[in-house]
């Protein structure tokens, strides 16, 4: 009898230990993103962008779009990224912000363009957001924050507008974790170097806006959602050191200033 009790106690102990060990593994984080098909992600991206499209003012001026698109195309073409798979949206909003949505949507606010001192700074942000897209950070972040079932139900239209609204706000105003941010930063540097664009300007952008943030924090969404901006600038500069690079002009003379003038003229008319 005593032997049976000992054996039974041992089996219970093994069961409890195994159950506890398995419960501590975040199986969903391992498999949940893979459960979402590309078709589901595209539907989800369209649903979230439709919300933005009804609440924001998209800029449809062809000269503005073509100029920004040329920067995006340069980064994509130099890094074997299919440009046609990225949906570019330029929005009239004074916030300094850019973000990616599911389904390869890239949203750039006019405030970001105005706050960039040159096209290389804007290319740095574009490269950073492209890195989030290519490494599937967007879906990982969304699933982690709202859950797999909610993400799938949003893509099928079974969730109300409030859920879509919250998902849109999450993606546009909440940071990725530091590991994902650093991955995107370093991949962005690689993208820039491959495109012949000086990464130092991206680091300068981070440093400058980080210094300005306390004065007008509400306008600097991209910086406020990306903490430790100076540290990021430092490791970007360290990472680029020693890497061979041939810097080339991205835009023709005067095109950058004309872009900013066109943006300002549109913002005044909205």
Q: What is the mean pLDDT of each run of 10 residues along the chain (270 residues)?
A: 55 48 41 65 90 92 97 96 96 94 96 94 97 93 78 66 83 83 93 93 86 52 56 83 72 93 78
Q: Write out pLDDT tens, residues 63-121.
A: 999 999 999 999 999 999 999 999 999 999 999 999 999 999 999 999 999 999 999 99
List beta partners, residue 101: 105
| pLDDT of the residue at 23 | 39
0.85 cut: is pTM over it?
no
| Spans of all domains in the chain | 27-269
Answer yes or no: are the C-beta atoms of 200 and 75 closer than 8 Å. Answer: no
| pLDDT of the residue at 28 | 39
Q: Give ∠ CA 266-269-270 in degrees, rounded to 5.
A: 90
Q: Is 241 helix (H, G, I), strand (E, B) or coil?
A: coil
Q: Give ∠ CA 151-157-159 in degrees, rounded to 5.
A: 65
């Amino acid at each position: 009898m005593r032997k049976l009790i000992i054996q039974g106690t041992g089996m219970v102990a093994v069961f409890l230990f195994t159950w506890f060990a398995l419960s501590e593994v975040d199986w969903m984080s391992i498999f949940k993103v893979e459960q979402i098909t590309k078709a589901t992600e595209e539907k989800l991206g369209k649903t979230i962008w439709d919300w933005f499209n009804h609440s924001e003012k998209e800029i449809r001026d062809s000269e503005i779009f073509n100029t920004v698109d040329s920067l995006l195309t340069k980064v994509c073409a130099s890094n074997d990224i299919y440009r046609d798979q990225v949906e570019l949206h330029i929005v009239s909003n004074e916030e300094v912000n850019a973000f990616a949505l599911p389904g390869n949507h890239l949203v750039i606010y006019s405030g970001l363009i105005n706050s960039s001192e040159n096209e290389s700074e804007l290319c740095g942000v574009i490269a950073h957001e492209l890195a989030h897209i290519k490494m599937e950070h967007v879906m990982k972040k969304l699933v982690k924050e709202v859950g797999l079932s909610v993400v799938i139900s949003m893509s099928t239209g079974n969730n109300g507008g409030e859920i879509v609204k919250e998902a849109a706000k999450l993606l546009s105003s909440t940071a990725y974790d530091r590991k994902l941010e650093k991955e995107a930063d370093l991949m962005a540097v690689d993208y820039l170097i491959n495109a012949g664009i000086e990464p130092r300007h991206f680091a300068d952008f981070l440093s400058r806006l980080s210094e300005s943030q306390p004065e007008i924090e509400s306008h600097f969404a991209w910086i406020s959602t990306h903490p430790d901006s100076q540290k990021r600038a430092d490791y970007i500069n360290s990472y680029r050191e020693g890497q061979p690079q041939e810097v080339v002009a991205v835009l023709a003379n005067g095109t950058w200033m004309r872009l900013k003038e066109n943006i300002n003229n549109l913002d005044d008319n909205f």
